[in-house]
Amino acid sequence: MCEGGRLHKKSKGGLSNTFYKLLSQTPQEEIRAGNLTRCLNRGILNAISCEVRKSLTFHDNVVLEVLLTQKIMRECNTTFVNFSGYIQHFQADPFATHMYSETGVGILVGHMRRKKPVKLYLDATGSVVSKIPDQKKRVLYYALVLAGHGRGAPPLPVAEMLTNNHTVPSISHWLLQFLHTVRQFTVLTVSHVETDFSWALMPAVLLSFNKENIFSYLRRCFAISQGRRKLKTIKKYTVLHLCSAHVLKAITGIISKHVTDKGHREFLTFVFARLQNTQSVDEAIEVFRALCIILFAKKHSPVVQNSVEQLTGMIRLSVNCDVMSEDQAVLRFKTVLRKPEVLEFNTQLRTKLNLIAVY
């Protein structure tokens, strides 16, 4: 047995007891000299114990460990009806595991059969597992979550994935496999799927749930906003909803790169937040047109003044009432917007703004 193994065996009575026992066996001369090599310290003992436990629990080969886990979970699941286990798909390179259970699918189907709109949330995060040996990209954890319904009914991840292949085909494969399983139980459609502002998640959701791309989805959304689609047709498709906080964060990041004045940044953030909450295309154009007039004005004019008043009347200013009243805040923003400099965004956004400003 190696030294680490012997120390681990000794430490079964507790790391503190092992530490003090080794310390009592260390000569006083070494302790006074600050040499604690013989007795080690609690951190080292804890690390040794952890490494030994890991070696006894996990296989050195990650791929083999996942395969064994997949097989064991399937064999231990004896109450299934249509499919067993939890790891439903596994591939080695690029690494990917698709995870969902019959119980989770059953809960989702039960909610869908209540004939109330079912909303799912799709997101990804890192720092969950370490990199796979000999593979460069980091592994992300993806989760498709059913919203909770208060105390006693918390949010539930109905489908999960670990992968280092963060592409539309990879994410679509996972979602399509899960939806194929769900459709063995029901033909009903998920009402909404909410994602962050990701160009991998958005197309994958549209392809998997609606069999369409981003362009056909936008054309259909515009037709709906114009009243050219019947409700029966609308309900056949899943609505892709972007998290407003993620969108606003992305917009704020773009604004911060081009706008140095704090007042300008705050005002633009409020306007885009108001734009997100518009209820019709006409209302959105009204807000956007007023914003364009302010951004591209060479000087302060009655038209600019009217646009400022229009927007400040439409947005709700977030101010500390103990420091500044709403009227004072509006006046402050008006003063800031009288500055002569023109706020510049990137070339693509500027072109689009110029086109809309002519209406």
The whole-number pLDDT of residue 25 equals 67
Q: Which helix (H) or strand (E) holds 69?
A: helix 62-76
pLDDT in tens, 284-300: 888 889 888 888 888 88
- 105 band by pLDDT with thresholds 50, 70 and 90: very high
| Residue 233 CB partners (closer than 8 Å, separation 6+) | none
Higher pLDDT among residues 115 and 215, named by residue: 215
Tell me the pTM.
0.68
- Check pLDDT > 90 for residue 109: yes
Among residues of the chain, what percentage have pLDDT more than 70? 71
**CA 116/CA 122 separation, integer angstroms:** 19
- H helices of 155-213, where? 168-182, 201-205
The mean of the pLDDT values for the chain is: 77
pLDDT at position 328 is 52
Q: What is the pLDDT of residue 165?
A: 92
Report how far residue 257's alpha carbon sits from residue 250's, in angstroms, rounded to the nearest whole number: 11
pLDDT of residue 319: 40
pLDDT grade for 39, boundaries at 50, 70 and 90: low
